[in-house]
Structures are given as C-alpha cells and as structure tokens.
Amino acid sequence: MKPLSIFLGYDPREHEAYRVAYSSIDRRASQPVLISPLYLPHLTHIMTRHIQRTKTPNQQPEFSLWCPISEAPMSTEFANSRFCVPFIQESGWALFADCDVLCLGDISDLFALADDRYAVMVVKHNYQPDRATKMDGQIQTQYNRKLWSSVVLWNCSHIAHRRLTRERLNNWPGRDLHAFKWLEDDEIGDLPPEWNHLVGIDPIVKAPQLLHFTLGGPWFPDSLDCGYNYLWLAERDSMNDMVMV
C-alpha cells in the first residue's frame, strides 16, 4: 500500500512541536504514512524568496523574520514554504499541516475526504484576530482567508495548480498565497472543522481530530496553561517513552 504523503512545516525554533506532531500522526494512522519536514534550506531549488533575519536581543524569539516582498513579519520559516507542496509532489493527494498541531484521529480518515473536484480542501475559518500577538510573542497579521492554509489537503494533480507558477510563488506577497489567489472559489473544498480545531479560538467540540495551537502551545513557556495542554504533554511523554525503549 502506497503511504499517505504528509508535509509538516518545520522551524528549528519549534523542533519539539514538530516531533510531537509527527508522533501524533504516525502512531494513530491505520495506513502507512510518509511524513516529511518542509525545511527551508532544502527547498532553495523551488523557493528563492528572500527572508530578512533581525536579531532581537532581550526578546523572544531570538530572531525576527521579515518578508520584504510582503512587507510584513513572518511567524515561522515555513510561512510560505507550504506552497511548495504541488512543486514537490506533482500528482496525487498530499497533506500539509503547521507543526503546531496534535493529531487525535486517524489521518487516513482525513484523506478519505479527498474529492477530485477540488484543487485544495481546507477548514474555512472565519477568524478575525482580537489580539496584536500570537504564539511566542509573534505579531498577529490579518489577511483574507486567514488560517485556511494551516491545514491543507492538496490535490496535486489538479490542473488549477498550473496557475501557481514559480514566478508567482516567489514574487507574490504571502497574503496572496495564503488566500489561494490562483484558485477560484469553487476550486476550494470544505473540510470538517474538527480537522483544524483552533485551540483557544474555536468553541469546544466533542471530538476534535486535529488540534491546532495557533496561539501557542505548551512548548512555549508563556503558553504552558493553554487549552488541551495535557493532551500535548501526554503525547510528548509517550513519544519520549517510545524513544527510550
């Protein structure tokens, strides 16, 4: 059986979050999975966008990231690298997720929702930030279709992705990429909200399948008491126990 293709955003500052996200997906999957990090230094053959890094002593994080094209801050190194997925994998279905997630369900159930009519499938959040900062003190920015791109089921075979050229990938402002500007509305399908549950934002639901700690998770000192923290910490402990065996 061909493994399910999964890409997770990777930022060295959130290495622990990445490991827990990986573990939570892998150990609950009923089908084989191939999970790959979107590590920016490994994507220079696709993505050539310049990122400015400004050292910020006495602040967290140690470096601030700035996108000159967007004229806006970047929360993570993988802010825009998620849009490399249809260049890395040219056919079939693939999943992208931010690394600040915790999977509580069987990821094959998410892939089972794939509908070939759509170029991408996402949870269509209507999120209007009411605070100036988010995880780890990062600046909170607003843009159209905010957080839709944080969990994306990509139909890499869909002809609509031909409109996302390398020139657009590397020259469009990030807000246009995150709004899926190259797609028509009817080319974006819906995923059930339990597959991208925004912790601390969405109303509590009975059975979330994928928790998204977009405001910060327990791996950050200032987010230790966030909602569902006990589930993330339990997953980390379970992962560490397995490594020790």
The rounded distance, in Å, linking the Cα atoms of 183 and 187 is: 6
Token pair listed for 37? 């990090």
Q: What is the CATH number of the domain that holds 96?
A: 3.90.550.10
Burial class (CB in 10 A: 0-12, 13-18, 19+), 72: middle
Q: How many domains does the chain have?
A: 1
| Any domain includes 95 | yes
| Any domain includes 196 | yes
Burial class (CB in 10 A: 0-12, 13-18, 19+), 143: middle
Domain range for 84 is 4-47+79-244
pTM reported for the whole predicted model: 0.88
Q: Phi and psi of 125, rounded to 5°?
A: -65, 150
| Any domain includes 69 | no
pLDDT digits (tens, 9 = 90+) for 28-58: 999 999 999 999 999 999 999 888 877 655 5
Torsion of Cα atoms, 176 then 180 then 183 then 187, to 10°: -160
| Any domain includes 72 | no
pLDDT digits (tens, 9 = 90+) for 207-225: 999 999 999 999 999 999 9
| Any domain includes 202 | yes
| Any domain includes 240 | yes
Per-residue pLDDT of the chain (245 residues; tens, 9 = 90+): 899 999 999 999 999 999 999 999 999 999 999 999 999 999 999 999 888 877 655 555 555 888 878 778 888 889 999 999 999 999 999 999 999 999 999 999 999 999 999 999 999 998 776 554 444 444 445 557 989 999 999 999 999 999 999 999 999 999 999 999 999 999 999 999 999 999 999 988 789 999 999 999 999 999 999 999 999 999 999 998 875 43
What's the mean pLDDT when you consider all of the chain? 90
| Any domain includes 66 | no
| Any domain includes 97 | yes
